[in-house]
Amino acid sequence: MGVPSLLKSASVAALLVGASEAANIIQANDDGWAELYLRSFHNAMIADGHDAVVSAPGSDLSGSGSLNTTPTDRILACEYDSCPADTLTPTGTNASDTRLNWVNSFPATSMEYGINEFGPGIWGAGTVPDLAVAGPNVGSNIGFIQVEGSGTVGATCYAVDQGIPAIAFSGITTGNLAWDTEPVPLRSTLYAELALEVTNAVLAAGTPYLPDDVFLNVNMAAVEGNCTDTSAFSYILTRINTPSILSTSDTPTCGDTWLPTETSVMDDGGCYVSISVGTCSDKTDASAADQLTVLNKLSGLLSCLPA
């Protein structure tokens, strides 16, 4: 990524944060606390003035949905040896950066501990996060089957169920990366920048950031070909499921009464970020009214697909 792109992205992000305020943000994932995608996004939020706190599983627990169990004492080392074996504690904190924390349980449990313990431990007792984010996930979370089983979405919906607005981020490019990978691959940096722009756009729109029971499911196209700079990407409002005969119409936009599916947008091969509005009660598409609320809030960010 060239310097002009970094400056452009930083400029957009600064304007969006300036329009709102720096936020207290809880961040989880399902790939583990030491996964580089999560760390790059965390670092981007901190650099942009947000007070982000990580609370994520000590190991990769992808595909665990909304499972939530009390963490047990950890015996094995954390992923990438990021915590030693035989810690014999259910949670842990990075000694040099207390905003980085692991939980020996599922992504949803990690989000729970972040909201109730790690976040307030940094911000002050009783402080509720302004926003929760999960990811970016290593790989896509598109369509009902992936969304239903996603630990990234499960963590996001735990926050929503506590009344905290939340966003699930996923990057199509796969390949797990340790937190200390050097040099940092472009895909990790680029996904962090794209996720930050969506986060800041939501915050800049003001409270309430999202409707009740609603989460955003965000998927970012593969970092390859022409899609290697933030300026190449367009943000598209999408839906999770293909409409059926029982479906009601989406909010009208871009000359259509149906939104494109996130699967069709990601399969298009273009430089797109799909943003679907889902409900945590069933992890499927939100109502047209809730879609319209998000459309209005993110109108300055969203684009239409080419005709």
What DSSP assignment string belongs to 71-121?
Answer: -----SPPGGGSS-TT--SSEEE-TT-TTEEEESS-HHHHHHHIIIIIHHH
Can you give the C-alpha Rg of the chain in angstroms? 18
Find tokens 């119409």 and name the residue. 249
Per the DSSP assignment, residues forming a β-bridge with 92 are 102
pLDDT in tens, the chain (307 residues): 332 333 334 444 444 444 447 999 999 999 999 999 999 999 999 999 999 999 999 999 999 999 999 999 999 999 999 999 999 999 999 999 999 999 999 999 999 999 999 999 999 999 999 999 999 999 999 999 999 999 999 999 999 999 999 999 999 999 999 999 999 999 999 999 999 999 999 999 999 999 999 999 999 999 999 999 999 999 999 999 998 888 889 999 999 999 999 999 999 999 999 999 999 999 999 999 999 999 999 999 999 999 8
Condensed to tens digits (0 to 9), the pLDDT of residues 11-48 reads 444 444 444 479 999 999 999 999 999 999 999 999 99
Report whether 166 contacts 131 (CB < 8 A): yes
Antiparallel, parallel or unpaired: β 131-138 and 24-28: parallel
* DSSP element (H, E) containing 264: helix 262-267
Architecture of domain 3-303: 3-Layer(aba) Sandwich (3.40)
Look up residue 179 and give its two tokens.
Answer: 């937190």
Q: Which residues on neighbouring strands pair with residue 137, listed in sequence order?
A: 170
3-state SS, residue 7: helix
Structure tokens at 216: 């955003």
Partners of 163 in the β-ladder: none
CA atoms in the 13 A half-sphere facing the CB of 58: 26
What does the alpha-carbon distance between residue 84 and residue 87 come to, in Å, rounded to a whole number? 6
What gap in Å lies between CA 47 and CA 51, rounded to an integer? 9
pLDDT digits (tens, 9 = 90+) for 61-74: 999 999 999 999 99
**Considering only CA atoms, which of 14, 21, 26 is closest in space to residue 167?**
26
What does the alpha-carbon distance between residue 50 and residue 70 come to, in Å, rounded to a whole number?
A: 29
**Before 306, cis peptide (omega within 30)?**
no
